[in-house]
Amino acid sequence: MTNKSKSTHSRRDVEKLLPGYNCGICGYARCDEFAGALLKKHATLEKCRFMFQELFADNLQDMEVLLKEEQIIPEDETIIGLLDGYEADFVLKPLPQEKSCREVLFPFSRAELKEGDIIRYRPLGCPITHFAEILEESHGLITVHLVGPCHRLDQAFDYQDIGVCMVGGFEGMIDGKLPAVGDTIRFLPHHCMMQKVHSGVVVQLEGKRVIIEGIDLKVWAPPIKGER
């Protein structure tokens, strides 16, 4: 009796067989996301209508064989947002010796702000009011650490209420699989009180230290817990 060799496949192997249109019809924003969902059995091949067209007939046969392989890549530990049930690529933790991830804010207020000030604000798209300490002010943008509300609401302290702010970027340390510069990623800020998955674009990466910009609370993929 001969032993059949088993091969281990990656998401890239599956992605190569997909049409590559990034059309979003399957419910995922890009074909690489759909490939990962197929491997983890979070989605079925029938979600991609193009795979069943004559143009991709050979790819379909190869894909069906590949997905039946016994030895598919082991599933990594998944990171799931508690509020929305979406899967994140990694958790973003604070820089060493710092209180929380750094956030870059675009205040809509015209208040004069400086390093060391404590502010109260609500991120655009978030229902929770935040308290933060300003680390840096530059040309109207402020970089902050969160300091509440959890432990600030019961204390007397001075702060400026600056209303709604747009969150432009995050900086912190990656806990999870490292992305590449230019990747659009989903991440879970370690300090997020709602434990909601955010999305953004990686613009700088040094080891596990990352800067993410183009922040959005909307995540263009179906929740892992099932379709809504």
CA-to-CA dists, residue 211 to 40, 55, 204, 207, angstroms? 28, 41, 5, 11
What is the pLDDT at residue 10?
63
Cα–Cα dist 226/44, whole Å:
12
Q: Which uninterrupted H or E stretch holds 36? A: helix 31-39
Q: Is the pLDDT of residue 24 over 90?
A: no
Structure tokens at 56: 């991709």
Q: Report DSSP state, residue 72.
A: B
Q: What is the pTM of this model?
A: 0.63
Which of 35, 68, 101 is at the close of a domain? 68
- Evaluate whether 212 touches 185 at the Cβ level (below 8 Å): yes
Pair (194, 90) in one structural domain = yes
pLDDT band at 68 (very low <50, low <70, confident <90, very high): confident
pLDDT in tens, 183-223: 999 999 988 888 889 999 999 999 999 999 999 988 766 55
Mean pLDDT score of the chain: 83
Domain count across the chain: 2
On whether residue 225 sits in a domain, the answer given is no
The whole-number average pLDDT for the span 100-116 is 93
Q: Say whether both 92 and 186 belong to one domain.
A: yes
In this prediction, residues 86-114 reach a mean pLDDT of 91
In a domain, 194, yes or no: yes
Rounded to a whole number of angstroms, the distance between the first and last alpha carbons of the chain is: 49
Compare 32 and 29 and report the one with higher pLDDT: 32
